[in-house]
Amino acid sequence: MILILLGPPGAGKGTQAKKITEKYKFPQISTGDILRAAVKEGTEMGLKAKGYMDAGKLVTDEVVIEIIKDRIKEDDCSNGFILDGFPRTMAQASSLGDMLKENGMELGHVLDISVDESFLVERLTGRRTCKNCGFGYHIRFSPSSTDGVCDKCGGGLFQRDDDNEETVKNRFEVYKDQSDELKSFYSGLGKYQLIDGTTDPESVFKAVSAVIDG
Ligand code: AP5
Ligand code: MG
Ligand code: ZN
């Protein structure tokens, strides 16, 4: 099944994607994670993307569309996948439609994890992520048992460069500008599902699973 996760920065897209992967085995494709890896490796794509990401702006459509085009052709995507953070513009949504058609794939659901902005700054500034395995923590809502160390693999935890209040504000603005059109587009296709993202991660996942299980 092909799933799209929509939702503002900090809504829990990554958190829910990891739970979906664990239960249903669909791989998580996060354009944010792929871009951050490229920045870290210092590739040409990473160098292009870094300025946009640090400013909380969107990386160009061409770059992210190319990422997805290549990624969904890989073998692990043949039974479905989770798009976490893509599409974010109508141009991306329309390219995705073309790609799915070309590959004979059909979109399952678009899950919009909805959380009021007032919750999100704390979620983002308190987020910590494992350098090694990518597992996500929150200093208040889901802390690791030892400060700064991953429970799963012992790796060190880091804070994302774009999780400061200034950049977070810009990311919210960008999301607000782009999201309405995407929501109406997928509603029109009959694929859109609103999920309450304000409860704890397990309860959110119950709602997500209910949609996937139909
Ligand atoms: P991206 O990495 O996609 O960031 P984002 O959309 O801003 O979303 P986040 O990853 O910050 O939040 P999330 O919803 O995954 O939340 P999480 O589960 O971690 O994009 C980053 C940048 O890359 C963009 O700004 C742009 O520059 C570029 N980019 C990426 N995709 C692009 C595209 N398609 N086009 C153009 N540019 C693109 O949760 C957050 C925290 O809250 C965690 O600490 C977690 O533990 C905690 N938490 C989660 N759920 C709950 C809950 N239910 N209750 C309490 N705490 C919770
Ligand atoms: Mg994320
Ligand atoms: Zn880890």
Give CATH for domain 2-116+166-213: 3.40.50.300
Ligand 1 atom 41: residue of nearest CA = 123
Ligand that lies nearest to the alpha carbon of residue 136, given by its number in the listed order: 1
Ligand 1 near 35 CB (within 6 A): yes
The predicted pLDDT at position 54 comes to 96
Ligand 1 near 123 CB (within 6 A): yes
Scanning 42-114, the segments in alpha helix (DSSP H) are 44-55, 61-71, 90-102
Ligand 1 atom 39: residue of nearest CA = 12
pLDDT, tens digit, for every residue of 6-56?
999 999 999 999 999 999 999 999 999 999 999 999 999 999 999 999 999
Ligand 1 near 12 CB (within 6 A): yes
Q: How confident is the model at residue 90 (pLDDT cuts 50, 70, 90)?
A: very high
Ligand that lies nearest to the alpha carbon of residue 179, given by its number in the listed order: 1
Portion of the chain with pLDDT greater than 90, in percent: 100
The set of residues, in sequence order, having a beta carbon less than 8 Å from that of 175 and lying 6+ positions away, is 8, 9
Give the start-to-end residue ranges of the domains of the chain.
Answer: 2-116+166-213
Average pLDDT over residues 154-168: 95
Q: Helix, strand, or coil here: 126? A: coil
Q: How far apart are CA 119 and CA 10, in angstroms?
A: 9
Nearest-atom number in ligand 1 for the CA of 53 is 27
Q: Which of 13, 18, 19, 36 is catalytic?
A: 13
